[in-house]
Chain A
Amino acid sequence: MYRVGIDVGGTFTDYVASRDGGRMVSGKTPSTPGRENVAVLNAIERIAAAYESPLAQLLGETEVINFGTTVATNAMLEHKGARVALLGTEGFRDIIELRRGFKESLTDIRLEAPPPIVRRRFRIGISERIGADGSVRTPLAEDQVLAAVERLKGEGIVSYAVCFMQAPANPVHERRCAEIINQVHPEAHVSLSTDVLNQIGEFERLSTTLMNAYLSPVLRDYMARLLDELGERGFGGRLLVMQSNGGTAEASELGRLGASALLSGPAGGVVAAASLGSATEHPNIIGVDMGGTSYDVSLVRDGRPEVRTDAWAARYRIGLSVLDIHTIGAGGGSIAWLDEARAIQVGPGSAGATPGPACYGRGGERPTVTDVNLVLGYLSEENFIGGEMALDRAAAERAIREQVAEPLGIDLVEAAVGIARIVNSNMSNGIRYVSVARGHDPRDFALLAFGGAAATHAPIQARDLGIRTILVPKSAGVLSAYGTLLSDLKVSTVASHLSLIEDVDSGELNEIFADLWARHRHAVESSDVTEIERRLFFDLRYAGQVHEITIPLEVNGAGIDDAVLAAAVEAFHEQHERLYTFRLEHKPVELMTLRQDIIGVRRKAPWKPGRARGGGEGVTASGRRVAWLPERDGDYAETEIAVYDGARIEPGDVIAGPAVVGEDNTTILLLRGDRARVDDRGTYVIDVEEPW
Chain B
Amino acid sequence: MTETRLDQGELITAEIIRNSLETVCKELSATVENTALSPIFTLNHDYSCGVFYSGDGGQVQLLARDQAVPVHIFASLDSVQIMFETFPDDIREGDVFLVTDPYMGGTHCPDWTIIRPVTVAPGVTFLTCVRGHVNDVGGPVPGNYNVNARDVWQEGFRIPPVRIVSAGEHVGDIWETILANTRLPAEVRGDLMAMVGACQVGERRIRELARKYGVEMLRRSVDYIVDYSEKRLRATIAEWPDGSYEHTGYVDHDFAGNRDVPVRVKVTVSGEEVVVDFDGTSGEVPGFINSPTGNTISQVFTALTALCPDIPINSGFFRPVSVVLHPQTMVNPDPPAPVGNCTLTPGTTIIDTVMKAFEQIRPELVGTAAVDMNGARCFGVSAATGRYWVSSDLAATAMSAGGARGTDGWGGWAATFCALNLPPLEMFELQFPWEYVLDEYARDTAAPGRWRGAPAIHYRRRHTDQMRCTIYNGGARNTLVGYAGGGDGAGNYWVIREGEADEMTVTESCYAEPLSVGSLLFAQSGGGGGWGDPFEREPAAVLDDWLDDIVSTDGARRDYGVVIDPARQEVDLEATRRQRAGGGSRSPAAG
Contact = CB atoms under 8 A, between A and B. Distances in A.
Interface in A427-467: 429, 432-433, 436-437
A580 B200 CA distance: 9
A414 B231 CA distance: 23
21 contacts: A92-B440, A94-B440, A94-B457, A97-B410, A97-B441, A98-B412, A100-B423, A101-B413, A101-B421, A103-B415, A103-B418, A106-B415, A106-B416, A109-B369, A166-B429, A200-B427, A200-B430, A545-B190, A547-B34, A581-B200, A587-B37
Interface string A117-138: 0011100010001011000010
B550 A544 contact: no
A219 B232 CA distance: 47
Interface string A575-605: 0100111101011000000000000000000
Contacts of A426: 19
Interface stretch (A42-50, A64-72, A339-347, A646-654): A339-347
A331 interface: no
B342 to A, nearest CB: 21
Contacts of B196: 582
A566 interface: no
A110 B411 contact: no
Interface stretch (B82-90, B141-149, B329-337, B431-439): B431-439
A122 to B, nearest CB: 9
Contacts of B31: 579-581
Contacts of A79: none
A10 interface: no
Interface stretch (A14-22, A31-39, A416-424): A416-424
B20 interface: yes
A634 B10 CA distance: 9
A411 to B, nearest CB: 10
Contacts of A635: 9
A110 B16 contact: no
A91 B439 contact: yes
B43 A546 contact: yes
A113 B411 CA distance: 8
A665 to B, nearest CB: 30
Contacts of B67: 106
Contacts of B201: 580-581
A137 B436 CA distance: 12
B415 A105 contact: yes
Interface string A234-255: 0000000000000000000000
Given A107-B416, A544-B37, A91 B426 contact: no
B33 A547 contact: yes
Nearest to A417: B9
A108 interface: yes
A433 to B, nearest CB: 7
B414 interface: yes
Contact of B19 (A129, A340, A429): A429
Nearest to A201: B424
B35 A437 contact: no
Contacts of B368: 109
Contact of B404 (A98, A109, A204, A544): A109
A151 to B, nearest CB: 13
Interface stretch (B22-30, B51-59, B250-258, B467-475): B22-30
B47 interface: no
B197 interface: yes
Contact of B228 (A91, A343, A433, A436): A343
Nearest to A200: B426
Interface string B133-164: 00000000000000000000000000000000
B242 to A, nearest CB: 20
A132 B549 contact: no
A101 B15 CA distance: 31
B246 interface: no
Number of contact residues on B: which range applies? 35 or more
Contact of A102 (B43, B309, B418): B418
B36 A545 contact: yes
A620 interface: no
Interface of B: 8-9, 11-13, 15-16, 19-20, 23, 26-27, 30-31, 33-39, 42-43, 67-68, 186-187, 190, 193-194, 196-198, 200-201, 205, 212, 228, 231-232, 235-236, 305-306, 308-310, 313, 367-369, 394, 398, 402, 404-408, 410-416, 418-427, 429-430, 435-441, 457, 460, 544, 547-550
Interface in A67-94: 91-94
Interface in A193-212: 200-204
A580 B28 CA distance: 9
Counting from the closest, the 3 A-B pairs by CB-CB distance are: A113-B410, A544-B37, A120-B548
Interface in A328-363: 339-341, 343-344
A526 interface: no
Contacts of A584: 190, 193
Contacts of A513: none
A690 to B, nearest CB: 14
Contact of A101 (B37, B420, B548): B420
Contact of B12 (A340, A422, A544): A422
B394 to A, nearest CB: 8
A436 B436 contact: no
A576 B430 contact: no
A95 B457 CA distance: 11
Interface in A134-177: 137, 165-166
A200 B413 CA distance: 24
A103 B235 CA distance: 27
Contacts of A92: 425, 436, 438-440
B235 A341 contact: yes
A498 interface: yes
